[in-house]
């Protein structure tokens, strides 16, 4: 695992957007796994800038989002599709037919979830998966006790996740209690995983994911099984890591070897 501690979230976003743009130059039909939430916005802003000012071309790309609330209309201001349109898709040249979300409504949700898995496979799998992590350790909406082998399915959100996300809702609005999410098994099949976490409220989740035992109670810890995962952190989210100095020395040595 690569544990990268950046001065601030902006430096992390610089790093990840550079990785994505390099991969895109190498593979114009790149398949991206995308996340919502406040954490990845800096990456999306930089990719939009690269498209609008430096010709980065997303026309051959496909995207698969991690999760979506159940029973919200697609254009609802709290749907993740709306979030992605607002923060990313409206600023780049993706073909709308290459944008994918797990199911949010309709009948036969289990079948729709299976179809989503099959669409990912049909596109050749995910090249780069962008991830955040919840303060309870969830990745996607794989809440604590999610099977480490899980696939795309419907999950009930924990009280903690509902509390963390309540800032987006006006008091009288009904907050969705359920969502579809790709599984931990699905995430682990991505070729490369780039997880970002910022701020003190992520400190326990980061500690458990990086240094804890692998446990379904801390879903982020499943990433220890992945051969190409980077944890892109700021000082606050990394502050509980016991080998922090070691991770910094590893990084310095890697940079020295590269230069
Ligand atoms: P956040 O959410 O980026 O808004 O902190 C992350 C997550 O819950 O996965």
| pLDDT grade for 177, boundaries at 50, 70 and 90 | very high
Q: How far apart are CA 258 and CA 151, in angstroms?
A: 37
**Which pLDDT value is given to residue 134?**
97
Distance separating the N- and C-terminal Cα atoms of the chain: 21
Mutate to test the pocket of ligand 1, among 9, 12, 13, 36 (most ligand atoms within 8 A of CB): 36
Q: Are 195 and 231 in contact (CB under 8 A)?
A: yes
pTM of the model as a whole: 0.96
Q: What is the CA radius of gyration of the chain?
A: 18
Q: Are 12 and 232 in contact (CB under 8 A)?
A: yes
Query: Is any ligand 1 atom within 6 A of the Cβ of residue 37?
Result: yes
| pLDDT grade for 26, boundaries at 50, 70 and 90 | very high
| pLDDT grade for 118, boundaries at 50, 70 and 90 | very high
Q: How far apart are CA 98 and CA 61, in angstroms?
A: 7
- Which residue CA neighbors atom 4 of ligand 1 most closely? 37
- Which residue CA neighbors atom 7 of ligand 1 most closely? 134
Residue % of the chain over a pLDDT of 70 = 99
**Ligand 1 centroid to residue 37 C-alpha, Å:** 5
The pLDDT of 15-29, averaged and rounded, is 98
**Ligand 1 centroid to residue 38 C-alpha, Å:** 6
Query: Is any ligand 1 atom within 6 A of the Cβ of residue 134?
Result: yes
Residue % of the chain over a pLDDT of 90 = 91
On the question of pLDDT at 24 being above 90, the answer is: yes
Mutate to test the pocket of ligand 1, among 16, 37, 181 (most ligand atoms within 8 A of CB): 37
Beta strands 192-197; 31-34: pairing state: unpaired
DSSP state of 131: E
Atom of ligand 1 nearest to the CA of 131: 9
List pLDDT tens digits, range 48-105. 999 999 999 999 999 999 999 999 888 888 999 999 999 999 999 999 999 999 999 9
């Amino acid at each position: 695992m690569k544990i990268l501690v950046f001065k601030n979230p902006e430096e992390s976003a610089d790093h990840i957007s550079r990785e994505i743009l390099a991969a895109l130059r190498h593979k114009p039909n790149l398949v991206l796994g995308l996340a919502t939430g406040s954490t990845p916005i800096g990456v999306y802003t930089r990719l939009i800038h690269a498209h609008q000012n430096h010709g980065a071309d997303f026309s051959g790309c496909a995207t698969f989002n991690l999760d979506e609330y159940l029973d919200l209309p697609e254009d609802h201001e709290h749907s993740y599709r709306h979030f992605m349109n607002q923060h990313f898709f409206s600023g780049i040249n993706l073909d709308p037919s290459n944008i994918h979300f797990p199911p949010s409504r309709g009948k036969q949700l289990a079948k729709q979830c299976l179809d989503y898995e099959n669409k990912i496979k049909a596109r050749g799998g995910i090249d780069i998966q962008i991830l955040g992590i919840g303060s309870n350790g969830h990745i996607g909406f794989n809440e604590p006790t999610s099977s480490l082998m899980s696939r795309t399915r419907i999950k009930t959100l924990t009280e903690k996740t509902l509390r963390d996300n309540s800032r987006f809702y006006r008091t009288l609005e009904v907050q969705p209690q359920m969502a579809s999410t790709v599984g931990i098994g699905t995430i682990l099949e991505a070729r490369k995983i780039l997880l970002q976490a910022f701020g003190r409220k992520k400190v326990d989740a980061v500690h458990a994911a990086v240094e804890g035992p692998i446990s379904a109670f801390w879903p982020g810890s499943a990433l220890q099984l992945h051969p190409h995962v980077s944890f892109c952190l700021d000082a606050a989210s990394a502050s509980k890591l016991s080998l922090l100095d070691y991770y910094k020395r590893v990084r310095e040595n890697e940079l020295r070897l590269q230069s």
